[in-house]
Structure 1
Amino acid sequence: MKVLVTGAGGMLGRALTGAWRELGRDDELIGITRAAADLRDARVVSEAVERIRPDVIVHTAARVGGIGANIAAPAQFLSDNLRIDTSVIGAALHSGVEEFVYLGSSCMYPRDYRQPLVETDILQAPLEPTNEGYAIAKIAGAKLCAYTSREHSVNYRVIIPSNLYGPYDHFGSMASHLVAAALHKAHLARQSGDETIDVWGDGTARREFTYVGDLAGWIAENIGHVAEWPDMMNVGIGKDYSVREFYEAALRAVNYRAELRFDPSKPAGMMQKLMDSSLARQHGWDPRTDIDQGMARTYTAYLESATA
């Protein structure tokens, strides 16, 4: 079996490659990075998939960013992700790929809706405005997979991870999400001796973050059995923490003390976004990495990348 991973240079793509090696699978895994191919270009994608002829595609590639980036460029997040997804899914179908794993996003869920969120909650209420462009694109990609499966009798499945963190995350940029940003700020504070760290919002918004290695290992183990999955599944740890708690965990990982200075005038996004992952647990999903373990591993990787 030959497996193609898009976004192989990203956090999940790299973790999946590592998990594949650890399992010692004989199947061939081939990665496509952003530098190797512009996945927004349907012709480029079609030629690549035809050349590789994979049996399975794990589609992790996307234009992603933190709250600031999503607010600043919603048109780019919408258009780029629509183009990426239609190019990759279309090329997969044209080349006869029968097993396809699409990575959705918890941003697909409505804002201020019931907690925890279940798969049928998608499109039931308005989206969070701060990342609406990205969310619309991911919903469209997920629906395209579902429609393609039904119309062409293929196994195109969608998994919706909670927010992810871990080695090779985006640190200190507009693409940074909460955990990476918290670790980066805590590290800089320790380096400079700053006694305060600025945080957007009032610190009470809650988020669910899953360690990327847990998800990568589970995907790698299930390649070849995706047909047994339902159309869509949440994959999260089933527990959320406040923004304050994430920053406190980041400070513990960095081994530093500083005062958190919250700014309620800045947007914080949805107040809570906890998912029900019971469907995935029926298919072997069992994340084991807690927040302190994951933060420590991520910070170690962050330091190694800074000195590489």
Structure 2
Amino acid sequence: MKKTSKIYIAGHKGMVGSAIWNALKKNGYDNLIGKTSKELDLKNQIAVREFFNVEKPDVVIDAAARVGGIMANSTYPFTFLMENMQIQNNLIDTALQQDVSKFIFLGSSCIYPKLAPQPLHEDCLLTSSLEPTNEWYAIAKISGVKACEAIRKQYGKDFVSLMPTNLYGPNDNFDLQTSHVLPAMIRKFHEAKLNGNESVTLWGSGTPMREFLHVEDLAEAVVFAVENTFEENLYNVGTGVDLTIKALAELIQKTVGHQGEIIWDSSKPDGTPRKLMDVSKMAKQGWKATIALEDGIRSTYDWFLEHAHSYKEVKI
């Protein structure tokens, strides 16, 4: 891929999109395109097609999505299903019609079955039932993966799907109603620390195991995908290492400096028991993550502190 190739990053202002934008810039790509949701509604097919007709990108990276944690997915199932399908379908179909040379579709490890064998290999997709607490988002993302696979089979186009594990890092969402577990914990422990180290109540039992990938590692994986041709459609992106939610909470508590009690509310759902990614396919391609979890949490907390004064709640 030439450094002058025109690359469109859908969702370039979000946590993932902004990290990809910065990584591409760092690696010498200077012909990047981005539009905010106010400038371009990706749910509007006509608007998307007009944008592609004008800009004619060489590469499209789909980092745009309606995202959220267990509470958000459970409360807004139709929103998560329909809006994600609308966004990705418009981008994928228009990229095909415009003969875009490379399309990178970003999904999530939640596409895999709830009780799939660990670690999660790409071949376990659609082998059994999904985790009910995020199935709506998962179904939308599965349809995107299959759309890209179908395009590869029918048209021989370089459309590839990257499925990251749980992400965190700068520009994350710290809204307690819609955020994922790691940023929610950072905010909870921080606020409890400011309130005299009061106790912090967390959902579930703390026993589920999760894997976490710094968003800057994912961004480097996307740059790697831009610069290389992958043999297959679907690749997991992660660290290949996990820990319990309890251990994560204790690590974040230590990083923040909170000295109060942690209370586990077992009346709330745990979600999938374990979600560890098999990252052997990406390793075979020549890429692996480099940011240690403890270092990543520290830098993310530093970012949170720096931006806490201007932080706004995220509304669904």
TM-score relative to the length of structure 1: 0.96
Alignment-mate amino acid for residue 223 of structure 1: V
Q: Counterparts of 2:18 and 2:254 in 1: how far apart (Å)? A: 26
TM normalised by structure 2 equals 0.94
Of 168, 171, 176, 2:174 maps to 171
Contact 1:9 1:34 in 2 (8 A): no
Q: Partner of 1:18 in structure 2?
A: 22
Distance 2:89 2:18 in 1: 23
The structure-2 alpha-carbon separation of the partners of 1:8 and 1:268, relative to structure 1 and needing over 3 Å to count, comes to same
State the match for 1:181 in structure 2.
184
Q: Which amino acid aligns with 2:12?
A: A
Q: Secondary structure at the match of 1:182?
A: helix
Shift of 1:60: 0.7
Which residue of the partner structure matches residue 7 of structure 1? 11
1:114-193 equivalences under 5 Å are: 114-193=117-196
* Aligned residue in 2 for 1:95: 98
Shift of 1:229: 4.0
1:149 match: secondary structure:
helix
Equivalent position of 2:234 in the other structure: 232
The one-letter amino acid of 2:64's match is: A
2:265 aligned to which of 263, 266, 282 = 263
Q: Secondary structure at the match of 1:276?
A: coil
* Pairing 1:68–2:71 present: yes
> Whole-Å Cα distance in 2 between the matches of residues 290 and 71 of structure 1?
31
Q: Secondary structure at the match of 1:286?
A: coil
Where in structure 1 are there 5+ consecutive unaligned residues? Answer: none
Distance (Å, rounded) in 1 between the aligned partners of 2:182 and 2:114: 21
Match for residue 287 of structure 1?
289
CA distance 1:40–1:252, change in 2 (3 Å) = same
What displacement does 1:84 show? 0.8
Moved more, 31-40 or 157-166: 31-40
Task: State how many pairs are aligned.
Answer: 306
CA contact (8 A) 2:206 2:244 kept: yes
Contact 1:210 1:237 survives alignment (8 Å)? yes
Q: What SS is found at the alignment partner of 2:23?
A: helix
Poorly superposed stretches of 4+, deviation over 3 Å? none
**1:249 equivalent in structure 2:** 251
Cα deviation, 1:48-71, whole Å, max 9, x if unaligned, reads 122111100010101100100001
> Which residue is 1:302 aligned to?
304
Deviation per residue, 1:173-211 (Å, 9 max, x gap): 432101100101011111111331010001001111100
Letter in 2 for 1:137: A
| Equivalent residues of 2:221, 2:237 under 8 A apart | no
Q: 1:111 is matched with which residue? A: 114
Query: In 1, distance between residues paired with 2:231 and 2:243?
Result: 29
Name 2:61's counterpart in structure 1.
Answer: 58
Task: Tell me the SS of whatever aligns to 2:33.
Answer: strand
Deviates more, 1:16-25 or 1:67-76: 16-25
Inter-partner Cα distance in structure 2 for 1:30 and 1:77: 26
Q: Deviations over 1:68-104 (max 9, x none)?
A: 0001111111111111111110111111102000001
Q: Secondary structure at the match of 1:305?
A: helix
1:157–1:229 contact (8 Å) kept in structure 2: no
Q: Supply the distance in 2 between the matched residues of 1:179 and 1:229 (Cα, whole angstroms).
A: 33
One-letter amino acid matched to 1:278: S
2:273 alignment partner, SS class: coil
Which whole-Å CA distance do the structure 2 matches of 1:89 and 1:47 have between them?
14
% identity of equivalent residues? 39
Shift in Å, 1:159: 0.7
Return the match for 2:280 from 278, 281, 285.
278
Segments of structure 2 that go 5 or more residues without pairing to the other structure are 311-316
* Aligned CA-pair RMSD: 1.2
